[in-house]
Structure 1
Amino acid sequence: MARLPDFRQLSDNVRSLDRARAEAFLQAHWRLLVFLLVLLLLGGFSPSSGFTKFALLVAVWVTTLRWAQNEDRLEPLGLDLIWGRSFLMWRTDHGKRFIERMAQYGTVWRRFGDVGLVMVYGTMVTMLLLLVWQAFLVSSVPKSAAVSPKLMLGLPGINPVIPLGYGVAALAIAVVVHEFCHGILARVAKVKLKALGLLFFAAPIGAFVEPDEEEMIAMRRIDRMRLYAVGPASNITLAFLFALLFSWGMVAALEPAHDGALTASVMGDYAAGEAGLEPWMLLTSVNGTSIKSAADFGEELNKTWAGQNVTVQALDKGQPRSFDVTLDDKGSYYLQYYPDYYEPWMSGKGFLGVGVTDQAAVTEGLAHPAQDGWSLLRYITLPFLKLQPFPEHFTALFEPSGLPGVLPDGLFWMTANLFYWIFWLNLMVGMTNALPAVPLDGGFIFGDSVAALLDRLKRPVLSAERKEEITDRLVSALAILVVALVVWQLVGPRLIGTDVVFLQARFDSSAEEGWNGDSFEFDASSSVGGFVEWEWDFGDGITASGEQTSHAWDTGKAYYVVLTAKDADGRQSRAYQSIVIDQRSEGDGDVDALDGATETIATNPYIDEVRVEISVTGDNLIFSSSVTVTFSPPEGEVRQQSITVGSGNTQVLDWIAQGKVGDWTVELESEDFEFSYIVAWELDYRLSAE
């Protein structure tokens, strides 16, 4: 009789087999799985997160490589996996002849290696201190401003600020120069080169020269340190040379194509943005007045007031355009965005909503970036300012001159852009490789430096094994520190970055409009944030303190009341409110026969309407007085009327005019006999243009 299979035993065998496979899988891939999990946690498991997308890229790339290696698909193609079976390496013998020819100049290369060591030590210390300094700043970085992982990778196509074409060309130059210099110093020291090749991680990320490992170990320590140093030193040297070519050769040859003020920035919610002005347009006139420079623009705009309609002429990519703009209020803008720089005189002044500079200032900063720290910082951060590659708005503003000017315009700008990116990526590659973290060049140099110091120690006496152990531990510890500091730039702000502290100064006023001399009450008790200090600025040179206060204005105008509230930690918030003050003013006097008098009043921005009542009384006991009254606005129609008043009699003239900023005058002139007068003004202000 046939026996039935033991299904329980079969099930146990299957489970044992599955468990063994799972254990083998985890043992082979646990580092990758942990890395992917960390990326997913950082991305909050959100499909749209950059961390999640990068995790998917890593998973697909590494899985494909390991499958290909297990299937023996890589070795026949000269390919191999390194560094955790995650990076692909391709070996070749091409380039060895060139290295051999260059290695003939051994003395020159040794001296360059010595200089390179000094450069790398300096860069190593600078970069390490910079990373430490940035680590302490992490807690003050808002969580919303944490650095994207893409910006930490200097790879064209992944890093959004690096253009693909220029980036690939410049990175190829940087990597080839770096590795060939390693190879040349290896041959200068008579070390055999096994192969040259390229490294890939989803894309080409580097090149390499592979010296014989045993011969590398047997090299003199100073020769080995030179070999490592020339890589980053060659990149930094090349960066310096191409910076000179870019600045002194290309940018210095640029001449402004037109006069004007350059719009370096445009505020979208203000007049310029709403009218269609854009960054890197050249402003050539305001209301028909020619603009030659940024100073001209500022001077002309300070003659305008909020609500005024002006016409702005500009060049857009070299083409003339006209914009009709209703100006905003300069004081309001500064109160909202730059309250520390607000001054009362700004209120009522016209504001276009652009930041301007001179064209020469732009090229001067690029041609001589080392003149100050800010110029150097702007020079290095041109890609983040969207000024590299040079945009069309920029190229239309300048004309090449001198020897570079013989190039066609398109070729000139392509060459300038390429020079900049060769500078930029060589600098990044050189500085990164100088970091004291194995497998970077700086890490190996640091290890040899530690070993050299230990060899010089006379006490305590250490064995060779002990020295090697100490060196390995120090090198590993510093490498872990460097990696941790770099990762901390990504993770730190998201973990301990600042949350937005809700501080909101608020206040209520007893009214928003009144007459000069009226008392207004202000109360800041509705503020949120635990404030302990309150400072008030009423826009007329008068200030006050306290949670509640009051104020009266002497002169009509649209004022901004500014409250600055501070908490116990010195953090502050500002609030402001417009108060419209209409003005009543009166002047009187006695005028002798054949004499005259003048009454003048000044109006401020936001003036809407001017009303004047002129009362003239005859003072001669016998004869009537003939009086000529002239009413003059700052601009426009002058009104004049002659009246005759008998002794003790009064005539009243009422005139109303649309408000204009400036001096208004009433002139009274006696044609024969004496008289007296009263001139009563009423100035009505409005907050915005109709």
Structure 2
Amino acid sequence: MVSTAVIVVVALTAFWLVLYSLFGKKEIDPETGEPVEKEEGLSVDFLVAMWRTKRLLGFIDRLSRVNRRFWKVYGDIGIALGYMGMAYVFYALFMTALKTLQTKKSPSGVQLVIPGVTIPLWYGLIGLAVVMVVHELSHGVVARAEKLPLKSVGLVLLAVIPGAFVEPDEEKLSKAPLRSRLRVYGAGSMANVVTAIITALILSYAITPLLVPNGIEVGDVIKGAPADGVLHKGDVIIAINGQSVKTMDEFIALMNKTKPGETIALTVLRDGKELNLKLTLAENPDNPGKGFIGIRPNQHVTSKVGHDGIILPLFFSLYWIYLLNIGIGLMNLFPLVPLDGGRMLDDVIKEYLPERVAKPIRYATIGIGLFLLALNVLPAILNLAK
């Protein structure tokens, strides 16, 4: 029987072959005879598809002219946030990498963001769409506030990863004053952080007060654990040995009273039906002497005011918008080109240091950055491959 992985690989290969055959031909400059990128429309290169348009440039122009002073101050705050975020992300990844080398264990410092695989499909897609739109729009508005021209805006597909972009005139950008360039670079993550803050406030003061904890949801079942074959992903545990369980604290307290080898009774909601199940506990690897079910538990919530079909999707959409904006926004400040943080650091080094000093520093930064990133990303890739 053909595995799902093989089917996916074959389908993706066929998709890219068809796409390349239809749109892979490049336009030729009649004067130089060299291939040039299309200014508008769809262009396809090896595993990279880009759709460009100029239609949104007018909107970005109008937005940038509303109050140029505001956008300049906004860009300055973005610069400050950019360097603080850069230091924080570098420190966090450095400490995780150091722990990996010292303990020879692999705590993942960076999580892969793949909708439907590592994060929920629809909530993940909504969150990523918001991340890309506010990030690139912010780059574009600040660039126009600095009177730097934009060539196009558009969408990009990198293998299976969707994205969006605002394409500045790189030649004009490279010749702009350093402060203008830094404003443009820092604006993207600035927008992501602002979006995360606004979303967190809405969640805290408008949505969360409407929710009540109502059981422990099985986020995943660990293979080979006692729960394997007994519990399913999405089950909601509402009682253990007849004792009601509504909050994570209650779940932890009850599990701390159990022992390895003990058989417990679980009352579970599955597809709206209440089930009574039994399983024999193993030993908790993180808490020796205590019982272990073998699930990744999540707090299950319901709405106090009813309308769960509206309140809960809204809550989870906002939650993933918050989480992805703060996570991706900060990660984009990691000091490694072509990330915004890398460009901010690289431009400052080139501006204030002579080339003979700047060059080895830039190479060292790239080497250290790639090494730290590898130590942090590799565990996430290995976990995904299991």
Q: Same fold (TM over 0.5)?
A: yes
The secondary structure found in structure 2 opposite 1:89 is: strand
Report the CA distance between 1:185 and its aligned residue: 0.9
Corresponding residue number in structure 2 for 1:282 = 238
Corresponding residue number in structure 2 for 1:400 = 304
Cα pair 1:61 1:201 within 8 Å, conserved: no
Corresponding residue number in structure 1 for 2:115 = 156
2:60 to 95, 99, 102: 99
Report the CA distance between 1:302 and its aligned residue: 6.8
The secondary structure found in structure 1 opposite 2:334 is: coil
Cα pair 1:437 1:478 within 8 Å, conserved: yes
Corresponding residue number in structure 2 for 1:130 = 92
2:142 to 185, 193, 196: 185
Task: Return the alpha-carbon distance in structure 1 between the equivalents of residues 364 and 14 of structure 2.
Answer: 28
Distance 1:264 1:468, change over 3 A: same
2:208 to 247, 251, 256: 251
2:41 to 71, 75, 78: 78
The secondary structure found in structure 2 opposite 1:281 is: strand
Cα pair 1:436 1:478 within 8 Å, conserved: yes
Cα pair 2:39 2:152 within 8 Å, conserved: no
Aligned residue identity for 1:400 = K
Distance 1:468 1:89, change over 3 A: farther
Q: Does 1:440 align with 2:339?
A: yes
Aligned residue identity for 1:451 = K
Give TM-score, length-normalised by structure 2: 0.73
Report the CA distance between 1:249 and its aligned residue: 2.5
The secondary structure found in structure 1 opposite 2:310 is: helix
Task: Return the alpha-carbon distance in structure 1 between the equivalents of residues 324 and 344 of structure 2.
Answer: 22
Task: Return the alpha-carbon distance in structure 1 between the equivalents of residues 166 and 276 of structure 2.
Answer: 59
Give CA deviations for 1:150-174 in whole Å, capped at 9, x if unaligned. x8643435xx122332222221221
Aligned residue identity for 1:98 = F
Give CA deviations for 1:470-517 in whole Å, capped at 9, x if unaligned. 44553344234323332344558999xxxxxxxxxxxxxxxxxxxxxx
Distance 1:284 1:183, change over 3 A: same
Corresponding residue number in structure 2 for 1:172 = 129
Q: Does 1:426 align with 2:325?
A: yes
Give 1 or 2 for the bigger CA radius of gyration: 1
The secondary structure found in structure 1 opposite 2:153 is: strand
Q: Does 1:228 align with 2:185?
A: yes
Corresponding residue number in structure 2 for 1:216 = 173
Question: Which has a greater percent of strand?
Answer: 1
The secondary structure found in structure 2 opposite 1:161 is: coil
Corresponding residue number in structure 2 for 1:110 = 72
Give CA deviations for 1:176-195 in whole Å, capped at 9, x if unaligned. 11111111111111112221
Aligned ranges 1:104-503 → 2 under 5 Å: 104=65, 105-139=67-101, 140-141=103-104, 153-156=112-115, 160-203=117-160, 205-256=162-213, 262=216, 280-283=236-239, 286=242, 319-322=273-276, 336-337=283-284, 341-342=288-289, 385=296, 387=298, 394-395=300-301, 398-401=302-305, 408-454=307-353, 467-468=354-355, 470-489=357-376
Aligned ranges 1:511-526 → 2 under 5 Å: none
The secondary structure found in structure 1 opposite 2:70 is: helix
Aligned residue identity for 1:410 = G
Report the CA distance between 1:64 and its aligned residue: 6.6
Distance 1:354 1:154, change over 3 A: closer
The secondary structure found in structure 1 opposite 2:71 is: helix
Cα pair 2:153 2:167 within 8 Å, conserved: yes
Distance 1:439 1:66, change over 3 A: farther
RMSD: 4.8
Question: Which has a greater percent of helix?
Answer: 2
Aligned residue identity for 1:237 = V
Distance 1:485 1:274, change over 3 A: closer
The secondary structure found in structure 2 opposite 1:424 is: helix
Give CA deviations for 1:118-176 in whole Å, capped at 9, x if unaligned. 2111111122222223333334445xx797xxx8643435xx12233222222122111
Distance 1:423 1:75, change over 3 A: same
Task: Return the alpha-carbon distance in structure 2 between the equivalents of residues 203 and 177 of structure 1.
Answer: 21
The secondary structure found in structure 2 opposite 1:177 is: helix
Higher RCO, Cα 8 Å, sep 6+:
2
Cα pair 2:189 2:330 within 8 Å, conserved: yes
Cα pair 2:185 2:343 within 8 Å, conserved: yes
Distance 1:399 1:494, change over 3 A: closer
Distance 1:76 1:234, change over 3 A: closer
Task: Return the alpha-carbon distance in structure 2 between the equivalents of residues 156 and 297 of structure 1.
Answer: 29
The secondary structure found in structure 1 opposite 2:148 is: coil
Cα pair 1:134 1:489 within 8 Å, conserved: yes
Counting matched residue pairs gives 364
Distance 1:474 1:307, change over 3 A: closer
Aligned residue identity for 2:345 = F
Cα pair 2:82 2:333 within 8 Å, conserved: yes
* Structure 1 unaligned residues grouped into runs of 5+: 1-46, 356-383, 455-466, 496-690
Cα pair 2:185 2:340 within 8 Å, conserved: yes
Distance 1:81 1:488, change over 3 A: farther
Task: Return the alpha-carbon distance in structure 2 between the equivalents of residues 473 and 211 of structure 1.
Answer: 28
Give CA deviations for 1:6-49 in whole Å, capped at 9, x if unaligned. xxxxxxxxxxxxxxxxxxxxxxxxxxxxxxxxxxxxxxxxx989
Distance 1:222 1:318, change over 3 A: same
Give TM-score, length-normalised by structure 1: 0.44
The secondary structure found in structure 1 opposite 2:236 is: coil
The secondary structure found in structure 2 opposite 1:103 is: helix
Aligned residue identity for 1:281 = I
Distance 1:98 1:290, change over 3 A: closer
Cα pair 1:175 1:206 within 8 Å, conserved: yes
Task: Return the alpha-carbon distance in structure 1 between the equivalents of residues 56 and 225 of structure 2.
Answer: 58
Aligned residue identity for 1:118 = A
Q: Percentage identity across aligned positions?
A: 27
Aligned residue identity for 2:304 = P
Distance 1:79 1:321, change over 3 A: closer
Cα pair 2:26 2:38 within 8 Å, conserved: no
Cα pair 1:313 1:320 within 8 Å, conserved: yes
Task: Return the alpha-carbon distance in structure 2 between the equivalents of residues 206 and 428 of structure 1.
Answer: 16
Corresponding residue number in structure 2 for 1:517 = none
